[in-house]
Structure 1
Amino acid sequence: MSQLPEFKAADLTRHTSDLFEAAIRSPVAITKHRKPRFVLMSMDQYRKLTQGPTQQVHMLDEMPDDLRALMIEGLERDTAADVE
């Protein structure tokens, strides 16, 4: 992950407009005692982060039958392609 722009916690009151302007472009780390403690980002960035695709994890023996069949079919297809 690339380095986030950083602002000191004190900048929240002293340089608010600069902080908000930077957060529009990319997430910004807010530091306290020289350590990143918080992240400020635009609402659009937050929505993209939280509304991304969801993933599910299943144990094979607990997996729904339709998903298990699809997984086995895919594994067999991949295995056959590796042999060729």
Structure 2
Amino acid sequence: MREFSLAELSRHSGDVTSVANREPVTLTHHRKPRYVLMSIEDYKKLAASAAQTRRVFTVENTPEEVAEWLLPALDRFADGEDVTNG
């Protein structure tokens, strides 16, 4: 990922946005990464991908395959076992 400072963005916005049309770019402030600039198409792909990987369930609508691995872990957790590593 290419990096540009905010000052470079101000002076050469056309160049920076041209790169951002091809790939996300990091925008820095005082040499520290602060922002990411990307095309709207890349953002929509990223947002759609994130939405597909997140799933929330209530007790009533938890799929059986999720409950099969979740319930034993909850039992171990209730017994005071460490469940952070599987």
Q: Give the TM-score category using the shorter length.
A: 0.5 to 0.7
- Structure 2 residue identity aligned to 1:55: R
- Give the C-alpha shift of residue 64 in structure 1: 2.4
5+ residue gaps, structure 1, are 76-84
Match of 2:20 in 1: 23
Shift of 1:20: 0.6
> How many pairs does the alignment contain?
66
Q: Does 1:50 align with 2:47?
A: yes
Q: Is 1:12 the equivalent of 2:3?
A: no
**Mean Cα displacement is larger for which, 10-19 or 50-59?**
50-59
Q: Aligned pair in 2 of structure 1 residues 56, 63: CA closer, same or farther (>3 Å)?
A: farther
**Percent identity of equivalent pairs:** 39
**3-state secondary structure, aligned to 2:9:** helix
Following superposition, the deviation at residue 40 of structure 1 comes to 0.3
For normalisation by structure 2, the TM-score amounts to: 0.64
SS of 1:56's equivalent? coil
- What's 1:79 paired with? none
Q: Secondary structure at the match of 2:17?
A: helix
**How much does 1:51 deviate?**
1.8
* CA drift at 1:9: 0.6
Q: Return the TM-score normalized by structure 1.
A: 0.66
Structure 1 residues 63 and 55: CA distance shift in structure 2, 3 A? farther
